[in-house]
Amino acid sequence: MKSLVPATRSNILKAAEIIKSGGVVSFPTETVYGLGADALNSDAVARIFEIKNRPSFDPLIVHIANINDIKKICHFIPKAAKKLMLYFWPGPLSIVLKKKSVIPDIVTSGLDTVAVRMPNNHIALQLIMKSNTAIAAPSANPFGYLSPTNAAHVSLQLGTKLDLILDGGSTKYGIESTIVSFNHGNPVILRIGSLPIEQIESVIGKVQIMTSSSGQKLQSPGQMARHYSPTTPLKLITSKTKFPSDKSSGLLAFRSPRTSKHFKTIEILSKKGDLREAAANLFGCLHRLERKKLDIIFAEPVPETGLGRAIMDRLRRAAA
């Protein structure tokens, strides 16, 4: 595929020129691959929605390369939000604040708030700096589908529709950013992600969690119950699960599986049971299982602490 190029200096410059002229580029971040356009150019952002087949009520995250640029985008920055930025940026944390009018409504789906983050990936940071703007970018996958953690995932899913894909290898974290909103003053977690809640609470104290799995009313239209899904049906294993013998089944195991007899294919998230490694491998394993054209994928639950919460959040949505 011609549009897939290594993320060399000169290709990053080429990508920046594409962004400046209103094009759409896929680039690596430390979480997953993004699908980026100039956040201040509504026509360019509209193309992201078109390419992803993303409903217009699902807002995008705006990526910046310099912490001071937040002032150009957002009105008021509460003390606790500032603290989080200083602690965790660049990093896998998106912060929702009241937006300034430079950010077009299409980016935020008409909300008066915007989600902003500074990614911790030098290719992403270079691209944003050389583009001389902020970059609006959702994950580089068709809406609702498995997230891309390497350039091949992007190329296979969206390759022909993009102006350029910068290949920067596999992403370090492999799960989307954690989203914290300060819209109503106090911090609220809208999406569990690559930055564990425990780390956030160690800096600003107890935070409220309000995701679709917490059973409370959603603040953000983008928090779908079903999301991050492979095309093959996925089931989370419980003590009551029976494995059908007449179906070709795959297993997504946390560490080494207790039994392999029911499964045609097995993918292991982390042999040593390390949750960070498991998170980084999650979408890659699911992409491989999906390509096996199985009837069903069974997924083992992982311990729900630290990154395990983000993994379980994605698995529950994939199974919904």
Tokens of 128: 């944003």
Residue 194 C-beta: closest distance to ligand AMP, Å: 11
Residue 305 to residues 4, 87, 108, 211, 312: CA-CA distances in angstroms?
37, 21, 31, 16, 10
Q: Which is nearer to ligand AMP, 190 or 312 (CB)?
A: 190
Position 223 contacts ligand AMP (CB under 6 A): yes
Q: Are 311 and 301 in contact (CB under 8 A)?
A: no
For ligand AMP, the closer CB: 123 or 251: 123
Give the residue, chosen from 29, 139, 155, 211, that forms a contact with Mg ion under the rule CB under 5 A.
139
In the region spanning residues 35 to 74, those forming contacts with ligand AMP, defined by CB under 6 A, are 58-61
Report whether 320 contacts 225 (CB < 8 A): yes
Residue with tokens 């564990």: 196
Tokens found for residue 269: 């998230």
284 binds, among ligand AMP, Mg ion, none (CB under 5 to 8 A by kind): none
Q: Residues 243, 231: contact at Cβ < 8 Å?
A: no
Residue among 116 and 251 whose Cβ is closer to ligand AMP = 116
- Near ligand AMP by CB under 6 A: residue from 103, 114, 251, 266: 114
Among candidates 248, 231, 236, which has minimal Cα distance to 286? 231
Residue with tokens 């994928």: 297
On the 0-12 / 13-18 / 19+ scale of CB atoms within 10 A, 206 is: exposed
Binding mask 248-287 for ligand AMP (x = CB under 6 A): ----------------------------------------
**Which listed range, 5-13, 112-120, 279-287, 311-319, lies at the site for ligand AMP (CB under 6 A)?**
112-120
Which residues sit at the interface with ligand AMP, rule CB under 6 A?
58-61, 96, 108, 111, 113-115, 138-139, 176, 179, 181, 190-191, 219-220, 222-223
The residues binding Mg ion (CB under 5 A) are 139
